[in-house]
């Protein structure tokens, strides 16, 4: 994929909290799609299986969550993506979403990748915090050799000591040598994993700059967690963007 290929965008709340939240975010994404003429995917998780604390909110579960996501597609006409954590989730999730996301912590789990590949849907693999861009050839190979050529790769930073991430933007051209679509996860990359008392902290103010830097290195997709009131979000609050700020961020990336 050439660098002048129109970028795509992925946005949504980190976790499904309510139908009302999903509708609010989806309606804004539709408005932005129409204003800018962009390709935009709605993303929310039905189960956050890797929360820092056992007491943290995880989501409504797969059955209810998939129905809520299907309702978003029916009402708003947005393509969907969500993440899976277990191989058995791939088939039912693949019946609802357009892109299956593989979490960074799980990107080397062979059975998970093979199950996702067999759905026939696009498989978006997030690069682990302990891998280089070049290392992602092997997760991509697992999907392709399972009969699915539709692989996207996502950069989301590397561990930098404890409770911190740093983004090496040289990973983006390395990822582009493996897959034609490389997405910058602009909000997860500003996390401070486990940096709070049982929660992940972050610096949402740096997410727009992460996006612009990734654009300079050739990224052709951008992922943002968004929420009308991020400080009250039930997951990833500290690195989630205000929904009202998404328009300006997208506008800056399209200029």
Q: Using one digit for the tens of pLDDT, what is the confidence trace for 90-101? A: 999 999 999 999
In a domain, 191, yes or no: yes
Strand extents, DSSP E, the chain: 8-12, 39-43, 80-83, 99-102, 122-126, 151-155, 158-159, 165-166, 181-185, 191-192, 201-202, 221-227, 241-242
Asked whether residue 3 is domain-assigned, the answer is: no
Q: Give the pLDDT confidence score for residue 193 in this predicted structure.
A: 86
- pLDDT of 2: 44
- The percentage of the chain sitting over the pLDDT mark of 70, rounded to a whole number, equals 98
Give the whole-angstrom CA distance, residue 61 versus residue 13.
15
Q: Is residue 124 part of a domain?
A: yes
CATH number of the domain that residue 219 is part of: 3.20.20.70
Let me know: does 70 contact 52? Beta carbons within 8 Å. no
Residue 147 has pLDDT above 70, yes or no: yes
- The tens digit of pLDDT for each residue in 160-215 reads 999 999 999 999 999 999 999 999 999 999 998 887 777 778 999 999 999 999 99
pLDDT tens for each residue of 13-23: 999 999 999 99
27-35: average pLDDT: 98
Is residue 6 one of the residues assigned to a domain? no
Domain range for 194 is 16-254
Count of the separate structural domains present in the chain: 1
pLDDT of residue 4: 66
Q: Which residues, listed in sequence order, are joined to residue 54 by a DSSP beta bridge?
A: none
Residue 94 is predicted with a pLDDT of: 98
For range 46-74, the mean pLDDT: 94
Residue 115 within a domain = yes
Residue 9 resides in a domain: no
């Amino acid at each position: 994929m050439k660098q002048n290929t129109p970028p795509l965008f992925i946005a949504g709340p980190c976790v499904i909290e309510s139908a009302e939240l999903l509708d609010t975010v989806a309606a804004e994404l539709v408005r932005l799609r129409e204003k800018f003429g962009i390709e935009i995917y709605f993303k929310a998780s039905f189960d956050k299986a890797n929360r820092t604390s056992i007491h943290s909110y995880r989501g409504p579960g797969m059955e209810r969550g998939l129905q809520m996501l299907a309702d978003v597609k029916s009402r708003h006409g947005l393509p969907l993506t969500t993440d899976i954590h277990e191989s058995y989730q791939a088939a039912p999730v693949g019946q609802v979403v357009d892109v299956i996301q593989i979490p960074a912590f799980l990107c080397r789990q062979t059975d998970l990748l093979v199950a996702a590949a067999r759905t026939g849907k696009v498989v978006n693999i997030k690069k682990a915090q302990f891998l280089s861009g070049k290392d992602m050839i092997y997760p991509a190979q697992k999907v392709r050799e399972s009969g699915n050529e539709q692989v996207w790769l996502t950069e989301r930073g590397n561990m930098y000591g404890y409770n911190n991430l740093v983004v090496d933007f040289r990973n983006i051209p390395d990822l582009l040598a493996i897959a034609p679509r490389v997405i910058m996860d602009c909000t997860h990359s500003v996390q401070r994993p486990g940096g709070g008392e049982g929660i992940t902290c972050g610096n949402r103010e740096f997410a727009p700059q992460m996006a612009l830097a990734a654009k300079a290195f050739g990224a052709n997709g951008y992922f943002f967690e968004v929420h009308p009131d991020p400080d009250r979000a039930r997951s990833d609050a500290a690195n989630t963007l205000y929904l009202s700020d998404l328009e300006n961020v997208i506008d800056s990336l399209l200029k």
